[in-house]
Chain A
Amino acid sequence: MAGQRPLGLAEELMARSLVNCEKAREMGDRSSTNWRTRFAVQVIVLLCLPVGALAAPADPSFSPTNIFAPVSTPAHSIFGLSLFALAVTAAIFVIVFSLLVCCVVKFGKRADDDGREPPQVYGSNQVELAWTVIPILIVVVLFMATARVIASIQKAARPANAIQVIAIGHQFWWEYRYPGLKVVTANELHLPVSDPGHPTPTFITLLSADTDHSFWVPRLAGKTDLIPNHPNTMWFDPQQTGLYLGQCAQYCGTQHAKMLLRVYVQSGDEFNRWIEEQSQPAHASAAVSEGQRIFETTACINCHAVAGTAADGRFGPDLTHLMSRETIASGAAPNTPENLRLWIQNPDAIKPGSKMPAMGLSDHELDAVTAYLATLR
């Protein structure tokens, strides 16, 4: 469904350019320079195509982070406004560009030029007035449409059943807290799907622990920055289950590029089960007590927390349910035992410049710690 409207726009663009071609052809006939006209028509059509193509790829399979494949109310209203803005600017482009091509084609110096200067025209108040007033009218219309969408998104009321999440940006990972649900997790945000008839939107409070970051999951909403000392909020109501990708969109330091966002939108039941699991303390297992001892007696616990154990560091991601996550290092690598071991041994091999230090453990210790972490489901 979302795929059809922009294609319509592209067609409209083509039609417009063809209308303009007809006009250009008429003009060309009058000045009996058909080849010039044909050239102009070709140039106009050729240049209009990419403008249409810009709006065409509204298919999520084209890119998982396509801004033209919205799945929430704010993303949909931005999408509608964007198409309107694209249509207005495309129309202006076609008109002004056609004028430019006409100037170049019609008024080029001819081979049989008599060497005399053309008639000198100094200006015209009527014409100036026209091309002042018409753009003002266009601006007013576009402004009104924009103001409406700004208000509808920014002034939306928070319903009582809204999901409340606190997102905290860190160099270079995301911390998520569900106040009231006693859940703390990292990098992979889980949310319940919102039924359009009975919406359960998610309101996210955006904070930063260090530098500026920006939360941008294009299919769910526009971006909002996470700025230290400047709490922000954003909201969206994901209307389809699935995994939505994005990444930090405000330069935050060396590993800005690998501060990836993953949002899992689940059915209400699945989400409730996930919350239930995440609110449990860590799963203890005697089989990996050696790994746990190493973990708790090295610098690991300065940064990482494992609920129900001595580890309560807060600089790094909470590891209580590490194995429930599909990725490590903020989405930089799949969460496999090999990657986990490599990450503890040499973080720079996965994410050079990340704040996780290489722990300098022996091979045996590495195996033990990895085995311990693998039990944190």
Chain B
Amino acid sequence: MSTDAISTLTAEMPSRPLVARLHEWVTTVDHKRLGILYILYALFFLVIGGIEAAIMRIQLIRPHYNFVSPGLFNQMFTMHGTTMIFFVVMPLLFGFANYLIPLMIGARDMAFPRLNAFSFWLTAFGGIFLYFSFLGANGLYGAGSAPDVGWFAYAPLTSQTFSPGHSTDFWTLSLLVSGFGSIGTAINIIATVLCMRCPGMTLGKMPLLVWLNLVMAVLVILAVSPLTAAQVMLLVDRYLGGHFFDTQAGGSAVIWMHFFWIFGHPEVYVLVLPAFAFISEIVPVFSRKAIFGYPAMVAASICIAFIGMSVWAHHMFTVGMNSNANTFFVLTTMAIAVPTGIKIFNWLATMWGGKIHFKTPMLFAIGFLFQFLIAGLTGIMLGVAPFNWHLGNSYFVVAHFHYVIVGGILFAAFGAFYYWFPKMSGKMYSEALGRLHFWLFVIGFHLTFDFMHIPGLLGMPRRIYTYEPGRGWDTWNLIVTIGVFFQAAGILIFLGNLLWSYFRGETAGSDPWDAWTLEWSTSSPPPEWNFPVVPVVRSRRPLWDLKHPSDPDWKYE
């Protein structure tokens, strides 16, 4: 009876008017729809941020080139950095967390569905507000001016003296607003994970993805709060006569750096832990083996979060801290390599002895492992403070963190897209297009970011709109720019693949990967209530237990 009512309702859905369907997306509190909204929002800004990057790379294709003005170039790198961190990677990862966590812990929604919707719309408003600066920064006086203070907006460049008008205010307010959204989502994730797990799922039986997102959510609260505080102080400085960062009145520019980086470095782990989470799900399934060393993986994640709170000043080795402070931050920075290394070794051990299926998600996971290894090693070089006195603020550091964010996090996120696309859409993506995307992106990525290290070693600082000839930087910059076009082609193939597969793809079925976590036990896409019957689990891989009743996991855990 009830099933009939449901199928009638489902059958009627497509015939409802477009406005009504869109209205549902706006008013929804369903974690899956909000997750998809986050992801679509992030994809939109990924394209925008990518265009900004391309503009910068064209400007730098040769010395003394005049493609854009210095002012516009400075706006481009400010907007590119702010957009990619706050309005691409964070929403993307929050989107997957939103979509997957309830499904993976056998819950029917997040703990606070309305807070969830509120958080998304705050984040969405923040991004739109930031981009409104292109149009409206001077209000009624005409054309706008986007912020041009850099994504870490060092004082006193942000003071009224050096940044008149409202461009810096757009930056401050948009991050303030989206920051509240992030904190809301973090609270929601913590409450969901702690309170909504299905019967049998103790903390020690949660999928690693859930664990890593739990740690990420704790870090968001710890990291975004100081940023929010700093933004409020900056607003007080700019409009209420405060002198926190106003160096002309005795304020401290260095205090802003501390505030920003005690947000900024944990933020790196906020972004990378969910990427670890994707890899920790994809690698076992496509190697056909249980994750190696689950307790060590959980411990390493918590360890990364702890140490990650005490490394921030390695972004400040050049600001003139005394030798004791520099030495301390060298130690913490190098220490964090240990738990990170443990993770890489465990993933490799998971692959070792398996039967690896080289589907697109696994290709991206292998790309992640390779690139994240290099990113970690250049990170160790940067952690060597005297080496950092050269490398910091050079193109080497730009190459390093793009290796982390693109080569690591974005590759993992692409893997996640292909892995969970069948679950979210009910359709299978095109494997051929997926591979094409992978190879184009690998080529583009390595052309751009491998060769970007070299001008840094040859003394090229970041954030310069042009450079002098005769410094030995020309060829490297040309190669770096060429790589951008391969990456752009890869992204277009990716978006095309998503669209084509959504409308024309084959039906995926509930469990196309023969996987082991709970989200694959329900239909694709899952019904609004996720599970017809709340599942009961006995191990970390409930579907393995179902598929291998004679040799279930719970015997060994």
Contact = CB atoms under 8 A, between A and B. Distances in A.
**Which of B154, B162, B247, B318 neighbours the largest number of chain A CB atoms within 10 Å of its CB?**
B318
Nearest to B254: A230
Interface stretch (B21-29, B184-192, B283-291): B283-291
Contact of A150 (B156, B386, B464): B386
A249 B461 contact: yes
Interface stretch (A89-97, A162-170, A195-203, A297-305): A89-97
Contact of B387 (A82, A104, A119, A216): A82
A81 B387 contact: yes
A67 interface: yes
Interface in A122-167: 122-124, 127-128, 131-132, 135-136, 139, 142-143, 146-147, 149-151, 153-155
A139 B335 contact: yes
Interface stretch (A206-214, A307-315, A359-367): A206-214
A246 B460 CA distance: 9
Interface string B124-163: 0000000000000000000000001010001011000110
A135 to B, nearest CB: 5
Interface residue tally on B, bucketed by range: 35 or more
A253 interface: yes
Contact of A118 (B342, B353, B450): B353
B352 interface: yes
B470 interface: yes
B486 to A, nearest CB: 17
A251 B150 contact: yes
Contact of B293 (A124, A212, A216, A246): A124
A299 to B, nearest CB: 20
B33 to A, nearest CB: 35
A65 B468 CA distance: 11
A128 B162 contact: no
A128 B296 contact: yes
B11 to A, nearest CB: 38
B12 interface: no
A78 interface: yes
Interface stretch (B264-272, B388-396, B433-441): B388-396
A273 B548 CA distance: 89
B473 interface: yes
Given A86-B381, A113-B355, A68 B457 contact: yes
A251 B158 CA distance: 12
Interface in B340-363: 341-342, 344-346, 348-349, 351-358
B293 A81 contact: no
A223 interface: yes
Interface stretch (B47-55, B67-75, B111-119): B67-75
A229 B253 contact: yes
A257 B471 CA distance: 14
Contacts of A229: 247, 250-253
**Which of B74, B253, B342, B384 neighbours the largest number of chain A CB atoms within 10 Å of its CB?**
B384
A260 interface: yes
A150 B327 contact: yes
Interface in B69-116: 69-71, 74
A122 B459 contact: no
Interface stretch (B372-380, B491-499, B530-538): B372-380
Interface stretch (A31-39, A56-64, A174-182, A286-294): A56-64
B331 interface: yes
Given A146-B330, A229-B250, A257-B464, A251 B458 contact: no
Contacts of B342: 128, 131-132, 135
A151 B384 contact: no
A317 interface: no
A251 B289 contact: no
A67 B457 contact: yes
Contact of A97 (B373, B394, B450, B453): B373
A85 B380 contact: yes
Given A100-B348, A122-B557, A132-B342, A257 B457 contact: no
A224 B250 CA distance: 21
Contacts of B392: 223, 249
Contacts of B370: 97, 100
Interface in B279-302: 287-290, 292-296
B58 interface: no
A113 B162 CA distance: 67
Contacts of B357: 109
Contacts of B250: 229
A210 B330 contact: no
B461 A64 contact: no
A325 to B, nearest CB: 17
A36 to B, nearest CB: 12
A284 interface: no
Nearest to B253: A227
B456 to A, nearest CB: 9
Contacts of A127: 293, 349
Contacts of B322: 154
Contacts of A139: 334-335, 337-338
Contacts of B457: 54, 57, 66-68
Contacts of B387: 78, 81-82, 85
A216 B461 contact: yes
A338 interface: no
A353 interface: yes
5 contacts: A57-B454, A82-B381, A89-B377, A124-B292, A210-B162
**Closest 9 pairs between A and B when the two form their complex, measured CB to CB:** A222-B389, A65-B459, A63-B472, A257-B464, A232-B320, A228-B247, A123-B293, A154-B323, A63-B458
Given A89-B377, A93-B377, 7 more contacts: A93-B374, A107-B351, A107-B352, A228-B253, A229-B253, A245-B471, A253-B157
